[in-house]
Structure 1
Amino acid sequence: MTAPQPLTGVVVTLNEEDRLADCLRSLDFCDELLVIDSHSTDRTRELAAEFGAQVIERDWPGFMAQKEFGTRAAQNDWVLFLDADERLSATLRDEIVALRAEGFPARAGWRMPRTTSYLGAWIRHGTWTPDLQLRLFDRRRGHYGGTDPHAYVVVDGPVGRLAGTILHDTYRNLGEHLAIIDRYTEVAAERMSEKGRRARPSDLVLRPAVHFLRAYLFKLGFLDGWRGLLLAYLGAHYVRLKYARLMARQRSRPTPRPDDACPGTFGASPD
């Protein structure tokens, strides 16, 4: 028989005292629990220690870098990531336990669907579903990539799919949702600017409208009632704000003076 494959559960935290217990409880079958905390001011670190987790406190370098740090800090090659506001369903937990007993055969990683609760109800339609997440992987063949704030796992090898779900208890209230939109769009605009992306006035009109129509009509968000309408609206708001901030960044760049121009350009500013 194949020996069970050692597994590390990893959670990245910041002030998650009220939600962390359910997350760590769902990971208690892991051989190691690792919590990477960015200087929480509540009892997050103490609570994690009570669950037997190793706690590493470090500054916040960004989503991708923090999760990649957790990947490399784990003692085991197979790692399972959850956010503090997530937990494994009973079905998903049983699937992972069975795979672990078999040594996670013939795969570099495993995707699993995520179902999100928003303001008191589970969301079944719109752009939040289906929401497949690659969270279980062999770190020898995988790493965190993407662009902040949307980091994701990249693996070299075949990927399986599990049936059980990650249960995601997202924003505590509407105010928190709006605050995260504000923070995430600032980060996204900065990353887009660093990559040389540019925004046009049409992006402020067309892209949000396309997102709203896709989320509310084509992805059947209206079937989630007022929550579906609100999510489609806030998704469009996210898109508009992201491109507005990108445009503000490019418009605030200083225009070169004529005497700073390269020879032969006659002082023309770059496009």
Structure 2
Amino acid sequence: MRNEEARLADCLARLSFCDEVVVVADRCTDGTEAIALRFGAKLVSGSFPLEGPRKAAGVEACGGDWIIEIDADELVGETLASEIRIAIHTAPAGDYFQIPVDNYVGDTLVRRGWGGSFGTSLVGRLYRRGSKHWKEQRVHPGVTFDGPLAGVLTRPIIHVVDDDIADMVARLNRYTDLRAQDLADIGDMPGLWDNVFRGFRRFFKCYWGREGRKEGELGFLIALMAGLYPVISCLKAREILKRGRAPSGTLIELWPNTSAAQSRKGAPKAA
């Protein structure tokens, strides 16, 4: 997490059921680290440009067999906490559990329509230590699990995903900035029309297939953001790559290869 002092205390206050709490602070310049220490958390502080290695660093610092991974804008209620404890103490055959997510935009609960790299309603966040692996990407890294699914919990994580519509638009801008850098790292100019087609598919999948239409104006807006995500990411990546080409056509490296340079949320938690 980075500069999450406004939300972190509420998040940590709900994690007293954990045997251990680990907070990963990524280049924080506010009171995030002080809040983590006040709650007795183990602090991992450093620079983690890629989300995957950041999460892996949190897991590495955990001492328990089971990990519950929670972000600073998420809350674990008492009923979910109890369900988590029961789940991991019944000797499950699998290696990870999926947990539903109740997503809020301000005070409004939006259950349907999430997807397309712009939100999710089911996450694999409770897992055995060492069973979850992330790709080295800046935002929404791909994940794999070594073992089978142990089950799906019934109580949701509470996720205050956006404060309002302006916050949603700002999140789209932030996510597409990061995704564009991932695309630019590959070095090939992404195809615009392939991503336009992908955007249309994501919009209709979120709005119709995932029933975002039943959420009214917010459902339409979420589907629109999901559809715009690949298009804007593509255009920003093309802009980055064009800026990096000399007149001769030679590609100039604009930043260090963070994938190579990076050395590096039982119920411990790495946020």
The TM tier, using the shorter chain, reads 0.7 to 0.9
How far is the alpha carbon of 1:127 from its aligned partner? 2.6
Q: Secondary structure at the match of 2:70?
A: strand
Aligned-CA RMSD value:
2.6
The answer (yes or no) to whether the contact 2:103–2:109 under 8 Å persists in 1 is yes
| Aligned amino acid, residue 45 of structure 1 | E
The residue number in structure 1 matching 2:121 is: 131
How far is the alpha carbon of 1:52 from its aligned partner? 1.5
Higher relative contact order (CA 8 A, sep 6+): 2
How far is the alpha carbon of 1:234 from its aligned partner? 2.0
Say whether 1:148 aligns with 2:123: no
| Aligned amino acid, residue 107 of structure 1 | G
1:218 to 209, 217, 223: 209
The residue number in structure 2 matching 1:4 is: none
How far is the alpha carbon of 1:192 from its aligned partner? 2.4
The residue number in structure 2 matching 1:191 is: 182
Alignment of 1:49-198 (within 5 A): 49-102=37-90, 104-128=91-115, 131-145=121-135, 147-160=137-150, 161-195=152-186, 198=189
| Aligned amino acid, residue 114 of structure 1 | V
Pair 241,94 (structure 1): closer, same or farther in 2 beyond 3 Å: same
How far is the alpha carbon of 1:83 from its aligned partner? 0.3
2 CA distance for matches of 1:130 and 1:234?
Answer: 13
Pair 167,98 (structure 1): closer, same or farther in 2 beyond 3 Å: same
Q: What TM-score do the two structures reach when normalised by structure 2?
A: 0.80
Pair 217,203 (structure 1): closer, same or farther in 2 beyond 3 Å: same
Alignment of 1:1-12 (within 5 A): none
Q: Percent identity?
A: 29
Aligned length: 246
2 CA distance for matches of 1:255 and 1:24?
Answer: 49
The answer (yes or no) to whether the contact 1:64–1:148 under 8 Å persists in 2 is yes
Q: Secondary structure at the match of 1:82?
A: coil
The structure with the largest alpha-carbon Rg is 1
2 CA distance for matches of 1:114 and 1:35?
Answer: 21
Q: Secondary structure at the match of 2:22?
A: strand
Pair 80,181 (structure 1): closer, same or farther in 2 beyond 3 Å: same
Say whether 1:237 aligns with 2:228: yes
The answer (yes or no) to whether the contact 2:65–2:129 under 8 Å persists in 1 is yes
Pair 213,140 (structure 1): closer, same or farther in 2 beyond 3 Å: closer
Q: What TM-score do the two structures reach when normalised by structure 1?
A: 0.80
The answer (yes or no) to whether the contact 1:144–1:153 under 8 Å persists in 2 is yes
| Aligned amino acid, residue 146 of structure 2 | D
The answer (yes or no) to whether the contact 1:193–1:249 under 8 Å persists in 2 is yes
2 CA distance for matches of 1:255 and 1:204?
Answer: 26
The answer (yes or no) to whether the contact 2:106–2:162 under 8 Å persists in 1 is yes
Can you give the 5+ residue segments of structure 2 that lack an aligned partner in the other structure? 251-271
How far is the alpha carbon of 1:250 from its aligned partner? 4.6
Moved more, 208-217 or 139-148: 139-148
